[in-house]
Chain A
Amino acid sequence: MQWLNILIQGSLLGGIYALFAIGLSMSFGIMRLVNIAHGDFIVLSGYVALVVTQATGLDPFSSLAIVVPVMFALGYVLQRGLLNQTLSGGLLPPLLVTFGISIIIQNGLLQGFGAYDHRLQEGAIETASLHLPGGIDVGVYPLLVFAVAVFAIASLQFLFYRTGVGRAFRAVSDDANTAELMGIDNRKLYALALGIAMIFTAIAGVLFGIRTIFDPAAGPIRLILAFEAVIIGGLGSMWGTLIGGMVLGIAQSVGAALDPTWQILAGHLAFLAILILRPNGLFPRTRD
């Protein structure tokens, strides 16, 4: 029963990792951009929510009404004004420009908010739990986060496969030059893509900020977790990313059950093992 409990808690933990990963997966899938600053955007969203809740008295969930548009706009402008210029010149420019953005966000937050931990307060839901038969307690909040992750991926699948914009995204992903010949304005589409990716980044940042403390230096580990979920799941597969997040969450929970200090390490080791055994991840779709 103890192991079933670990399996359930780990899977639920995977929901938040999947949410981390959606933005990273989207920007790679559509514009082949690996955003090194992705983890810092997650943390930045937490700080934006912190400012909004303190300034308006809203609770973190309601603050999403402001945080999401702000992050969408930031993503759109950043891609349009800066990142689009890096996409034609090989591997290094996007990597180093997002690296630079990462340094700027981390030190900007350090300057503005200090090195202290922060957390978003959502009240009773944080500690509520459901009692399942067999003595297993499931937290309401992790369950909610997992449901949000499933809903987010389902809505992205709908966007990609059932709408005109989604068709354009897939076309650009398959062959950017041909898509442009067919009348798609790639630069606008890329900007929209990073904007949409930022919506999920914002949701992930706020939901995780309620669950766990964050500080200006917390971005890199979130980037790594998101990256591991994407690679374990297989590039380009959204549902694969959810499974990847769950595998990571379960590995961490198993590690933590053996010894609490092993939690993060167990996740990394699971990632490396999968990388060696199945280099393309569990459900590969696109190739780079």
Chain B
Amino acid sequence: MADHVAGDVAGQSAADSAPVHVERATKASRIFAVLAAVVLAALISLPWWGDIGWMRLIAEMAYYVALAQLWNLLAGYAGLVSVGQQAYVGLGGYMLFYLTGVWNVNVYLALLLAGPFAGLMSIPVSFAVFRLRGAYFAIGTWVVSEVFSLFASLILVLGAGSGLSLTVPILQEISPDRDVRGTMLYLMTLTMSLFVFAIVYLLLRSRHGLALTAIRDSEPASASLGVNTFRTKFIIYVATAACTGLIGGLIFLQKLRISPEAGFSINDWTVVVIFMVVIGGIGTLEGPFIGMLVYIALREFLADYGTYYLILLGLLAIAIMLKAPMGIWGWVIHRYDLQLFPVGRRLKLESADDASKR
């Protein structure tokens, strides 16, 4: 993965004579890639050895980690702290139900259209909310989501306040057999999650990722170096909306019912996702995975305590923000300089002298 560059790129320093190359992977990341492939293979084969309960849980983890990666891309990299992403989850879900139920569109086609539709809707939305800065942007996106929710509750063809259900013939398009259908939905969710992660990962490794990382670290500085911050943010906003819409379609394909409260729920689709990213480590690719695991583990262990569990989650988020604002993975990077999904570029001297490593 190492891009070799000419030695003179390094400049006129003492390292002038030594061949220099840019590293894009680390030893840890290569080992981890193998490990990740093994885990992925195990997850793909789960329908053949695991039960339906496990498949449900893993599917939920898969779509939550995808939502968390997207929110992290928005807030952690592009500086767009949105608390209105539930707008696109709801739009994607409603689009799927509307197309299949009213227009008899094939369920797979409807699912593929749900993403672009959410992306398209996010363009006019961005005209309004991009006028707001910082935390006001956050509340602005929330208002937009409320508007979509209120519209959905007024439109009769969308079932108004009570929402829509998926009918049996639509589900039989996937498979007439219930078990096969469960397996299909599980594999679709896993594929979607992997697809979203691949987009985010490749984007961050590309030159656009370099621009995004620069915006993350300092917006004025990146602008002064020639990064078109507005265009970058706009593209990221629309792309995340499209991916979020696709996830929304898949989520509600599994839930079989959608209503304005469920589709546009800020708690389910944004608050929980923010907790995951913040606890795991914002502005890193590893953080959302770790945060999702922590969240699911807490929820499984504390489910019996009802509201106390949410209070605990609130306290945890506050404590993390005050004591370790970079989250669990931020602490790991600080301590061990570990990167499992390297997106940066490291300059290495090929000769034995360790001057470059200090």
| The stretch of A95-103, A158-166, A176-184, A202-210 that contacts the partner chain | A95-103
Give the docked Cα–Cα distance between A99 and B127 (Å).
Answer: 26
In angstroms, how far is the closest chain A Cβ from the Cβ of B157? 16
Pick from A96, A110, A275 the residue with the most CB of B within 10 Å.
Answer: A96
Say yes or no: A100 contacts B310, CB within 8 Å. Answer: no
Question: Is B136 within 8 A of A34, CB to CB?
Answer: yes
Known contacts being A92-B321, A264-B150, is A99 close to B274, with CB within 8 Å?
yes
By a CB distance below 8 angstroms, the chain A residues around B266 are 220
Determine whether A82 belongs to the interface, using a CB cutoff of 8 Å to chain B: yes
B128 on the interface (CB 8 Å rule)?
yes
Q: Contacts A227-B139, A261-B154 known; A93 to B314 CB distance under 8 Å?
A: no
The CA-CA distance from A108 to B143 in the complex, in Å, is: 25
User: When A34-B134, A97-B321, A275-B131 are in contact, do A265 and B147 touch as well, CB less than 8 Å?
Assistant: yes
A223 is an interface residue with CB less than 8 A from chain B = yes
CB distance from B277 to the nearest CB of A (A): 10
Chain B residues contacting A102 (CB-CB under 8 Å) are 314
B133 at the interface (CB under 8 A from A): yes
How many Å from the CB of A24 to the closest CB on chain B? 10
Please pick, from A85, A99, A272, A288, the residue contacting B271 in the complex, using a CB distance under 8 A. Answer: A99
> Which residues of chain A (33-52) have a CB below 8 Å from chain B?
34, 36
In contact, B143 and A271 (Cβ under 8 angstroms): yes
Judge whether A63 is part of the interface by a CB distance below 8 angstroms: no
Q: Which residues of B contact A275 (CB under 8 A)?
A: 128-129, 131-132, 140
Give how many A residues have a beta carbon under 8 Å from the other chain's beta carbons: 41
Residue B19, interface by CB 8 Å: no
Measured CB to CB, the closest approach of chain B to A98, in angstroms, equals 9
A224 touches B314 (CB 8 A): no
Cβ-neighbour of A272 out of B134, B142, B147 (below 8 A): B147
Give the size range of B's interface with the partner. Answer: 35 or more
Chain A stretch 11-48: residues in CB contact (< 8 A) with chain B: 34, 36
Q: Mark B300-330, 1 if CB is under 8 A from A, else 0.
A: 0000001110110111011001100100000
Q: Is A91 an interface residue (CB 8 A)?
A: yes
Interface members, chain A 247-281 (any B CB < 8 Å): 261-262, 264-265, 268-269, 271-272, 275-276, 279
The prevalent SS among residues of A at the interface is helix
When the two chains form the complex, which single residue of B83, B129, B322 contacts A93, counting CB atoms closer than 8 Å?
B322
B81 proximal to A (CB < 8 A) = yes
Known contacts A220-B266, A265-B151, A275-B128; is A94 also within 8 Å of B314 by CB?
A: no
Minimal beta-carbon separation of B323 from chain A (angstroms)? 10
Whether A97 touches B322, Cβ cut-off 8 Å, given contacts A34-B135, A224-B139, is yes
Q: A272, B274: Cβ atoms under 8 Å?
A: no
With A and B bound together, what is the CA distance between A108 and B151 in angstroms? 31
Q: Which of A97, A265, A268 contacts B318 (CB 8 A)?
A: A97
For residue B239, CB closer than 8 A to chain A, the reply is: no
CA distance A220 to B142 in the complex (A): 10
Cβ of A228 under 8 Å from chain B:
yes
Within 8 A of A (CB), among B282-309: 282, 306-308
Q: Once the chains are docked, how many angstroms separate the CA of A228 from the CA of B144?
A: 12
> How far apart sit A102 and B139, CA to CA, in the bound complex (Å)?
14
Residue pair B127, A110 in contact (C-beta under 8 Å):
no
A-B contact pairs, 5 of them (CB 8 A): A99-B317, A100-B321, A261-B154, A272-B128, A275-B128
Nearest 7 A/B pairs, CB to CB: A34-B135, A103-B314, A279-B131, A100-B318, A107-B307, A100-B314, A104-B314
